[in-house]
A = this chain, B = another copy of it.
Amino acid sequence: MTDTGAPSASGRARITIREVASAAGVSVATASKALNERGRMMPETRQRVQDAARNLGFRPNAMAKALVHKRSFTLGLLTNDTYGRFTLPVAAGLSAAMADRGVSVFLCAIDDDPERARLNLEAMEDKQVDGLVMAGKRIDRALPIQFTALHMPLVHVNAACPEGGIGFVPDDEGGAHLATAHLVALGRRRIAHVTGPGGFAAVHLREAGWRRALAEASLAPPGEALLGEWSERFGYETGQRLFAAGGEQPDAVFCGNDQIARGLIDALTLQGLRVPEDVAVVGFDNWGLFAEATRPPLTSVDMEFKALGREAGLTLLDGIDGRTVAPGIRRRPCRLVVRRSCGGET
């Protein structure tokens, strides 16, 4: 341990291919070929070089490689989701899939600030990233970015995607259908829908999925979808209202997100209604924090953001490698995570 302490790093400079070559008694060119399994050469020589590299702990300088290959094996992830609710799983899936392929991911947090977006975009261009993924908070809003003459492949995740672009979004309609059909299969007949504001495309897609599942079972919706906001408070208040009056009450509620579901369950509980016996409840998001904290634990639709991030990355690699990638939006299936709030399970 030579610990110089002082400047930048500790210890001596990194091993270069030149040192490996001289240790193996070959030229740098030969060393390069040996290490990259390129061209033909005496197996013995190749082995000697590889041994030398291993002994010296040689790691090739990725920047030098990048310079000659014009390929940096890096990607940029731009996101305006500072909360991380959506982006974090996207980033995790992306980063994990890319790590296995030697690709590293730059994280650029742009809080809806166009100036910051521009700054980060320039940094990504300067750093010569091979591609970019733009991850957003909702499928009907683009990130605040000018894509004038972007010199690299690009994919959008959970965000609006410009004409001719490539996008990955969760299949909200399908997810809602999944949830509703599950309630139907459990014998529920009056399935209400309580959800977020009408300004969100996702709200209408989820409502459509709910309607389709009911229609397929020849059930009528017990009233219109109840649009409001994405909050516990709205779920709570709607729960109170919905079950206050006498008459025919819903025997299930499909909620547009987990927070609404949680508020609704609280309201039901306070009114002496039992979940799931009297009313089955399903949420959307599968946000562990909520889904597992409700009593009973909440059945919910998972949007599979991790898979979305992973697929976005792989698609980007396809584009980077020159394979043809069809433009358009890919809607990826959601997954229903069954817990106790919908009944029919332990």
Contact = CB atoms under 8 A, between A and B. Distances in A.
Interface of A: 6-11, 14, 59-64, 66-67, 70-74, 77, 82-84, 88, 91-92, 95-96, 99-100, 102, 104-109, 111, 116, 119-120, 122-128, 130, 149-153, 231-233, 259, 288-289, 293, 319-322, 324
A151 B14 contact: yes
Contacts of A259: 293
A84 B66 CA distance: 31
Contacts of A108: 95, 99, 104
A126 B60 contact: yes
B231 A293 contact: yes
A59 B125 contact: yes
17 contacts: A8-B70, A8-B320, A9-B151, A10-B150, A60-B126, A61-B128, A62-B126, A63-B127, A63-B128, A64-B67, A74-B106, A84-B88, A88-B88, A96-B116, A99-B123, A102-B123, A231-B293
Copies of the chain in the assembly: 2
Nearest to A62: B126
A59 B122 contact: yes
Nearest to A113: B96
Q: What 8 A-B pairs come out closest when comparing CB atoms?
A: A84-B88, A107-B107, A7-B322, A62-B126, A84-B84, A92-B109, A63-B63, A9-B152
Contacts of A77: 107
Given A105-B106, A231-B293, A289-B289, 15 more contacts: A6-B322, A8-B320, A10-B151, A11-B149, A59-B126, A60-B126, A61-B126, A63-B128, A84-B84, A92-B111, A95-B107, A100-B119, A105-B107, A107-B107, A259-B293
